[in-house]
Amino acid sequence: MPVLFECTYRGRRHVGLELPADGEPLRLRPLGGRDLRTLVVDAGGDPAALAAALADLPGEVTVPAEDREAVRMRPPLLPDHTGDAMVSGFMQTHNVKVEADTPAQPNWFVKGLGDTLKLPGEDLRAPAGSVALCEEAEIVLVHVTDGNGELHYAGYTFGNDLTDIGRFRRHRGHLSYAKLCDAAVAPWLFLDAPPRHVTGRVTIEREGAEGAAWEGEFTTGTKALHYGLDSMMSELFSYDTLRTPGRVHYVYIGADRSSFHGGHEMADGDRVTLEFTSHGVTLANTVRCPSPTAPEPAAREGS
C-alpha cells in the first residue's frame, strides 16, 4: 500500500512514498513547485493513479539516516495558507456508543482550520478551564476540493481528536465548544480506501511521575461504525458551503471508548501516546490546558 508524506528538506518541498522505518534513510522526490492538491485532483480520486504520478517525479533524493533531523514533516496535503484547510469530524459514530436516542445521522462538528493540526511531538492545546479532557484515537479522511467545488478523496491517516468531553456531558448543546481543542495528525497519508479494522493502544504518562497513569486498548475502522461511511460523507459534502475550491478537508470519523470512560482525569502536561499497532503508526503529544486566569479587580473611581 503506497504511503505518501510531504516534508521540507534543505529549504525545498519533497514527497516520499513509503512509511519510513526508524533509523533508515529516506527516499524523497522534490516537488519542484508542484501543488500536491493539484496532483490529487488530476488523479481523479484514484489513489493508485496519484501514487503513480508521484513516483514519476524526477530527481530522487536519498537522505542518510544521520541527516533525518534536517527533514521537517508536514501534515498531509496541508496548504501553505492554513485557512484553506478545515478540520472537522463526527461524534458517537461507533457501535459501542450507540444509545436509545442515537440519531439517524451522526452529529458533525468543526474543530478549526489547518493550524489546528499538530504533528507528533507537538503540544495539543485545550481551552483554559476545560472540564474533563480525553483523547480520541481516530481515522482521518483527507479530501481535496477542485476548482469546480467537487471533492476528491486522497487517502486516510490517523489522529487524536482531543475533546473536552466533560463540557459536552455537562451540556449536550455544547458539543461545538467541547471540540475546540487541537488535533494531532500523523504525517503519513495511506493511499487506499478507509480501513475496515484498526487496533491500537493508548498510554498516558503524567508529568513528573514514573510509569503510566493510564493504559488501554482501542478498536476502530469502518467495521466498527454504526453508520455507513459513504452515507456520512455524501451527506456532509452535499452542503455547498463546504465545497470551497482549493480547500482541503480533514474529517475525523469517530472513536472507541477513551481514558475518560476508564476513569482517568487528564491534566495539563499529560503525555498521550496513541499506537495504531495494526498500521505501524504512533502519535505522541503533550496536552497543554492552562488554569483559568482570575479576572483582575475592577478599578475604583478616582484611582
The pLDDT of residue 296 is 47
Q: How many CA atoms lie within 13 A of 204 on its CB side?
A: 25
**Tell me: the pLDDT tens digits for 68-82?**
999 999 999 999 999
CATH topology of domain 3-74: SH3 type barrels. (2.30.30)
Q: Do domains 3-74 and 82-288 have the same CATH topology?
A: no
Sorted by where each begins, the domain ranges of the chain are: 3-74, 82-288
Report which DSSP code applies to 278: T
Stated pTM of the model: 0.93
Considering the domain 82-288, what is its CATH architecture? Alpha-Beta Complex (3.90)
Q: How many CA atoms lie within 13 A of 251 on its CB side?
A: 25
Q: In the predicted model, what is the mean pLDDT of the chain?
A: 92
The pLDDT of residue 208 is 85
The pLDDT of residue 119 is 98
Residues in the chain: 303
Quick check: 144 pLDDT over 50? yes
Q: How far apart are CA 248 and CA 229, in angstroms?
A: 19
**Tell me: the pLDDT tens digits for 218-275?**
999 999 999 999 999 999 999 999 999 999 999 999 999 999 999 999 999 999 999 9
**Tell me: the pLDDT tens digits for 24-54?**
999 999 999 899 999 989 988 787 888 889 9
Q: How far apart are CA 192 and CA 27, in angstroms?
A: 21
The pLDDT of residue 293 is 59
**Tell me: the pLDDT tens digits for 210-220?**
899 999 999 99
